[in-house]
Structure 1
Amino acid sequence: MTVSLDTDTRTADGLSGPAIKLWEHPSPKSTQLWQFVERLNKTYNLQLKSYEEAHSWSIKNIAKLWGEVWQHCGIRASQPYTKVVDEAAPIFPRPSFFEGSGLNFAENLLYPTQSVDPNSPAVIAATETTREIVSWAELQERVRQCQAGMIALDLKEGDRVAGYVANHTNALVAMLAATSLGCIWTAVSPDTGVTAVLDRMQQIEPALLFTDNAAFYNGRSHPVMDKLVDIVAALPTLKAVVMFQTVQTVDVDTSTIKMSSGKAYDYKSFVALGDQNSAMVFAQLPADHPVYILYSSGTTGAPKCIVHGAVGTLIQHKKEHILHCDIRPGDRLFYFTTCTWMMWHWLVSGLASGATLILYDGSPFRSVSPEDPLTSVPDDLAMPRLIDELGITHFGTSAKYLSVLEQKSCKPLKELSLETLQAIYSTGSPLAPSTFQYVYDAFPKRINLGSITGGTDIISLFGAPNPLLPVHAGEIQCLGLGMACAAYDYAGNDITSTGEAGDLVCTKPFPCQPVAFWGKDGDKKYRSSYFEKFEGVWHHGDFVRFNPETKGLVMLGRSDGILKPAGVRFGSAEIYNVLLKHFADEVADALCIGRRRENVDADETVCLFLKMAEGKEFSQELVDRIQKTVREELSARHVPGVVEECPEIPVTTNGKKVEGAVKQILCGLNVKTSASVANADCLDWYRNWAKTHA
């Protein structure tokens, strides 16, 4: 495929020059998204000829759009809806969607409206050393058995069921069993510390906890039991703890679990509690009945408990999978994720579109040893090999993973066919323009590289992939259907069409807005999280620029990572992109923070902290080269005033850089960082730095 240049009008906030077009679909009218556009044309006597026209119609006709998505993508319901949504209602308080309908979330995943062969794989679970294939019929039976155990423990609609689990089939089964009964599922990865788990689970008071006996990562097992004892002791609402033997070489010892009420079971004993001959039941519930509790990053305080509803989660995921990703029954969907991250919830909803899920738990850089199938060995191409082995069609990962492959100069196509691969999706942080180019050099040029953005707050996407549109380096292809997003400046002016950078907002209701925040101050936290900065619109907390020519989105990082020296606003991602492009072999990672202390600094200073690559030394010569390159690539206003070496970059348990907490430390604010910072001890270095650079 020939790379072509499209005209582009970039602003001084970031990249300049033409947008580089890297991909376009060879037959866009064969896609399910185009079929949906044709449906709209026929149903409403329209003449929509492009995605841009379809999106414009979708945000002007919210009720019609989501009603058509319900019908076209298929929602299994026992009662039809009486109204899609009140289009006159404000975005907050959240309006109800699909009032009057009755449905069950788990039923839609286990028995999709799309046709599937019950004997075909529903799930393929992989680790560094093992593979497990589970058919649709087998998955349904395993959920039935797990549900029967829950019924025996007298779990009720609305009870919280928690997982301290990795990404494997048993975690999926537990979630489906819980939501089949109208319980609410929440999960935290087993590599998370006790304090971080309790910061979350003590707020929601779970009735049942599923846990792994150990975690396995990077070639060795990691114990869970010591942490589990402390976690269970601090959760008095538990009726039971159920342990999976996830790591076969580690025994399941329930005797060490001391509970104020209830009992600890191994999984086999738990299943035996239930009626072995019972039929599976699906509680038919209102459309907005809660199914998931997810958690905000909590980098500067206790995590907020974000409650997501059945229909919003389901219909948004089906829209994204079927229309935006062109996923069809039998396609194989992979996302490298933990059960904590919203992308796990996005992944498992692939069942509702008839896709086969590929669940992976382990290091992305280890493969089964050719000499000993019970052990794993380091392998930079472990995930590309998995694509070939399992026939993955849609491969999802983080921007960080792709940038590591880029830095290592990995070329999967030199060794592998990757013939099944149709798309690569990237999220978690902005994907650098150079990494876009790398992917199309190292992977098949036919794939749709979908840089996507959304988040825990909406359990889905604002910026989506699109088979009808080209891929331009550094840009998310489009806004999803029905998502009325814009860029606002600090004064609340819409600057979308200007190409200037601003805060990402959403101006009209959408079904995957949280149904609530958990707790007595939930309504207050809900409002303050999204609706206080700009009146009447959803403020998402991301800094973004819309390209006026391509209509693509350029993500610039979180709003708490915005820098504003001399009044020029830009995102930290712009600095990271320059480092990745020009200094990847010298700098392993970086943190870019704006520092302005009240009554001390007249202006903001851009501070850049560098974690050096192994074997590389920090020097003034390197500082000079970085500052010179930033000046040339971006502008004089972007040049960091301070460049320092640091021992470590603080990240959340999801791997995101903790810019907000470091910014507050540097600016002299009293920041209390919660245990959701995975390496919180390293923040002491930044505190000391701030004191010595007062």
Structure 2
Amino acid sequence: MTALRAYLDWLEKREGRRFADHDALWSWSVEDIDRFWLSIVEYYDVTFSAPWAAVRSAEPMPRTRWFTGARLNWAEHALRRGAGADPALLCLREGTGAEVRTVTYAQLRRSVAAAAAWLRREGVRPGDRVGAYLPNTEHAVIACLAAAAVGATWSCCTPDFGAEGTIGRLAQLEPTVLVATDGYHWNGTEIDRRDVVERLRSALPALRRFVAVPYLGHPVPAGATPWDDVLAEDAPLEFEPVEFSHPLWVLFTSGTTGLPKGLVHGHGGITLEGLKWAGLYCGLRPGERMFTYTSTGWALWNMQLGALAHGATIVLYEGSPAGAVWGVAERTGADVMMLGAAVVTASEPPPRPLRRLRHLLVSGSALPRDGYRWVSEHVGPHVRIDSTSGGTDVSGAFVGGQDGAPVRPGRIGGRLAGVDCAAWDDDGVPVVDDVGDLVVLQPMPSMPVHLWNDPDYARYTESYFGTWPGVWRHGDWVTFHSDGGITIHGRSDATLNRQGVRLGTSDFYDVLETLPQIAETLVVGVEQPDDGYWLGLFVVPAPGHTLDEELKRTIVTTLRTRLTARHVPDDIVEAPAVPHTLTGKRLEVPVKKLLRGAPLERAANPASVDDPAVLRWYARFAAERQG
């Protein structure tokens, strides 16, 4: 019996009605969304240290609060089920000879208890922030759980981020503790990040303690606490009961201008979403193993932690995916994998089918039809493939596959329980079998509690509810097909989405426009008909400079070293200028519309542009590029 069917059988007894399949569950879950989420609390035995007064408050999104009055701790639920001797984490890095390090549930609990006690001794209290600059290793999991155990708020950047990208995120939070690595591995090379860490330390004035993780074996810098010292003293495993919406972590997603946007998620919402998603849709049970290829800067890293609450094992792989992902799955005996579509399509076939693997979840974008055939042929015809889509915004998924639903290559299976989503046209009318904006009509517990430094909800409202008040507009183009399948067409705003990872345009500008050879830049990403993605960078050279091959090499090197390899564009084009609104904002969305084939009169109103002649240049460029 599948995990979903077991829940449905239990639900039938609870509700006194028949739930034949997931379609019946979804319909009920949005008709009585409060009772659905209460069923998740009851089925998974969520423990509250103080009772709740109401399942949901009366305030509309984004001010809705769930299980008001209840107190709990996410880390307690993450660590309560696994048997002591069972593996909680299987850790390995790139390289065929790298050993698999096993962290049992007993060892994980012991480490979290020690780290949490250290944080308390250092004066960290509920609401304080713990920042991190760590790769996908056990150190990140332990530190995250320890911060949550004391009620502190966690935020982590991946070390393939350069100094500017990391400072732009963590400095907003004013952390009192920083946990940082000396480097990471990529394509057979050790990448030293000690210089970035030193710049980060100097940019965090509220920092009281710095914990150094000598992952590459470099000496611990002066004034730092070695990671081993944090774990040195045994302590009781204690969890601070916090209010249901108390900040658990901050995930960052970049808008088109300004600082990256900090999404604050609460203990309770993440507990419920993690139990639902990992339990009903990944179907994880004690003894099973889940391998997610991710970095700590991607929401998939946070989502995978939900496996712990089911007593399952998480596989942590650190390094490049090139030629590695299927070997890692085989070596660790993965039952479930979650990969970005681009990782699947770029991977080399495994030497033999993966007999233990039963479920492959594909995130970031839908796996193309050829990808389904490739996986069936090389990984195994027994493997169920489900594309899923959600976001950093909710630290979870809106749509995906489910047991019993047909697998349609190139499409997503359907809407997930508790997610009242639809496609709306420009007039706010629901559409089926046509492209519309992905909207969510009722609140979800894992929606952000608030955005960082946004006390009056102004930025939150503008970001998600500015188009239709009280309705979450996600920013994806989507088609809900009449047969139940779903197609995600890409971002409807200017945020870049490359290889399933969102990239903020402001990160490009912050880095490139420090170069003396460059006056201004404009970056645009465009989805291609063949499921590809074109990332174009328009460069306005500074006076006395031209966009020659030397400057192009400088741009590529700067983006690769100060941001990530994903930020390197497909084309670098010299432009006469960058078009702006009358208030000075770059016209990223209109240029993207032009590149997707929209005529100039539909892409922008010339009266709102600082120099219409510049926009006409981009229209000509787009026409020439399209042939």
| TM-score with structure 2 setting the length | 0.81
Code of the aligned partner of 2:529: I
1:123 corresponds, among 73, 76, 89, to 89
**1:271 Cα shift?**
4.2
Aligned to 2:184: 215
Deviations 1:328-357 (A, max 9, x none): 111101111111111100012210111101
Aligned residue for 1:532, secondary structure, equals coil
Matched AA of 1:346: M
- Aligned: 1:58 with 2:60: no
Q: Displacement, 1:64?
A: 0.8
In 2, the alpha carbon distance for the partners of 1:38 and 1:592 equals 51
The answer on 1:72 being equivalent to 2:14 is no
In 2: Cα distance, 1:521 partner to 1:289 partner: 15
Paired residue secondary structure (1:254): coil
* Deviation, structure 1 residue 469: 0.8
Q: Please, what is the CA RMSD of the aligned residues?
A: 3.1
Would the alpha carbon gap of residues 466 and 667 (structure 1) be closer, same or farther in structure 2, given more than 3 Å must change?
Answer: farther
Structure 1 residues 592 and 58: CA distance shift in structure 2, 3 A: farther
CA distance in 1: counterparts of 2:309 and 2:569, whole angstroms: 34
Residue 119 of structure 1 and its aligned partner are, at CA, apart by 0.6
Question: 1:515 and 1:148 mapped to 2: Cα distance?
Answer: 27
Counterpart position of 2:14: 43
C-alpha contact 1:212 1:244 (8 A) present in aligned 2: yes
The aligned residue for residue 450 of structure 2 is 516
Contact 2:527 2:534 in 1 (8 A): no
Counterpart for residue 438 of structure 1: 374
Amino acid of the structure 1 residue aligned with 2:437: D
Superposed, 1:615-630 pairs within 5 Å as none
Q: Which residue of 2 aligns with 1:465?
A: 401
Find the residue that maps to 1:472 and give its secondary structure. Answer: coil
Structure 1 SS opposite 2:397: strand
2:288 aligns to what? 331
Query: Structure 2: which amino acid aligns with 1:513?
Result: M
Alignment match, 1:169: 138
Residue 537 and residue 666 in structure 1: after superposition, are their counterparts in 2 closer, same or farther (change >3 A)? farther
Shift of 1:281: 1.4
3-state SS of 1:84 partner = strand
Give matches, 1:365-376, under 5 Å.
Answer: 365=322
What's the offset of the Cα at 1:384? 1.2
Change (3 A) 1:425 1:94: same
Q: 1:544 to 1:692 in 2, by over 3 A?
A: closer
> 1:214: how far off?
1.5
Pairwise CA distance, 1:204: 0.8
Corresponding residue of 1:576 = 530
Paired residue type of 2:469? E
Q: What is the aligned partner in structure 2 of residue 636 from structure 1?
A: none
Matched AA of 1:202: A
SS in structure 2 of the partner of residue 560 of structure 1: coil
SS at match of 2:457: helix
Secondary structure of 2:169's counterpart equals: helix
- CA gap of 1:653–1:68, structure 2 versus 1, over 3 A, is farther
**1:72 partner letter:** Y
- TM-superposed deviation, 1:528: 0.6
Give the corresponding residue for 1:554: 487
- Structure 1 pair 522/337, CA: closer, same or farther in 2 (3 Å)? farther
Distance 1:331 1:672, change over 3 A: farther
Aligned pairs, how many? 542
Maintained 8 Å contact 2:83/2:311: no
Tell me, in whole angstroms, the C-alpha distance in 2 between the residues paired with 1:504 and 1:667: 30
2: distance between equivalents of 1:144 and 1:312?
23
CA displacement at 1:90 relative to structure 2? 5.3
Q: Which residue number in structure 1 is paired with residue 467 of structure 2?
A: 533
1:297 CA drift (Å):
2.5
How far does residue 254 in structure 1 lie from its aligned partner after superposition? 1.2
Q: What is the alpha-carbon distance in structure 1 between the residues aligned to residue 46 and residue 332 of structure 2?
A: 29
CA distance in 1, matches of 2:332, 2:458: 46
Q: Is the 8 A contact 1:165 1:339 kept in 2?
A: yes
Q: Which residue of 2 aligns with 1:393?
A: 335
Distance in 2 (alpha carbons) for counterparts of 1:90 and 1:536: 10
State how far apart, in whole Å, the 2-side matches of 1:78 and 1:665 are: 62
User: Which residue does 2:502 correspond to in 1?
Assistant: none
Pairing partner for 1:267 from 227, 231, 238 = 227
Answer 1 or 2: higher relative contact order, Cα 8 Å, separation at least 6. Answer: 1
Contiguous gaps of at least 5 residues in structure 2: 496-524, 538-554, 589-613, 623-627
1:285 paired residue among 239, 242, 249: 242
Q: Which whole-Å CA distance do the structure 2 matches of 1:432 and 1:665 have between them? A: 37
Residue 558 of structure 1: CA displacement?
Answer: 0.5
Q: CA deviation at 1:402?
A: 1.2
Q: 1:665 to 1:411 in 2, by over 3 A?
A: farther
SS in 2 for 1:471: coil
1:524 partner letter:
A
User: Helix, strand or coil: the match of 2:125?
Assistant: coil
Map Cα deviations across residues 418-448 of structure 1 (whole Å, 9 max, x no partner): 1110111111233222222322222211222
- Of 359, 364, 375, which aligns to 2:316? 359
Worse overlay, 49-58 or 76-85: 76-85
Cα distance in structure 1, aligned partners of 2:456 and 2:366:
30
Q: Secondary structure at the match of 1:548?
A: coil
Cα displacement string for residues 456-498 of structure 1 (whole angstroms, at most 9, x for unaligned residues): 1111000122112111011111111010000000111111xx3
Q: Residue 239 of structure 2 aligns to which amino acid in structure 1? A: F
1:487-538 CA distance string (max 9 Å, x none): 000111111xx31000000001110110011115561111011001112210
Is 1:228 matched up with 2:184?
no
Distance 1:432 1:666 in 2: 37
**Do 1:388 and 1:417's aligned partners in 2 also have CA atoms closer than 8 Å?**
no
Cα deviation code 1:588-616 (max 9, x no counterpart): x63489xxxxxxxxxxxxxxxxxxxxxxx
- Taking structure 1 as the reference length, what is the TM-score of the superposition? 0.73
User: d(CA) in 2 for partners of 1:665 and 1:437?
Assistant: 45
| Counterpart code for 1:541 | G
Matched letter for residue 54 of structure 2? K
Of 220, 231, 253 in structure 1, the residue corresponding to residue 220 of structure 2 is: 253
Which residue of structure 2 aligns with residue 7 of structure 1? none
Q: Distance in 2 between matches of 1:556 and 1:535?
A: 24
Alpha-carbon separation, structure 1, partners of 2:374 and 2:302: 28
One-letter code of the match for 2:410? G
Determine the C-alpha separation between the residues in 1 that align with 2:23 and 2:86: 37
Separation in 1, partners of 2:289, 2:219: 32
User: For residue 196 of structure 2, what is the amino acid of its counterpart?
Assistant: K
Distance 1:656 1:576, change over 3 A: farther
Cα distance, 1:521–1:265 mapped onto 2, change above 3 Å: same
Following superposition, the deviation at residue 667 of structure 1 comes to 7.6
Distance 1:486 1:170, change over 3 A: same
Shift of 1:291: 0.4
Whether 1:193 aligns to 2:162 is yes
Partner of 1:24: none
Deviation at 1:559, TM superposition (A): 0.6
* 1:234-292 C-alpha deviation (Å, 9 max, x unpaired): 111001110012123xx22312xxxxxxx4211233445xxx35322110111111101
1:379-427 residue CA offsets vs partner (Å, 9 max, x unmatched): x3x221221211001111111111213xxxx442xx2241110111111
Question: Whole-Å Cα distance in 1 between the matches of residues 261 and 576 of structure 2?
Answer: 21
Amino acid aligned to 1:162: G
Name 1:157's counterpart in structure 2. 126
In structure 2, the CA distance between the partners of 1:423 and 1:42, relative to structure 1 (3 Å rule), is same
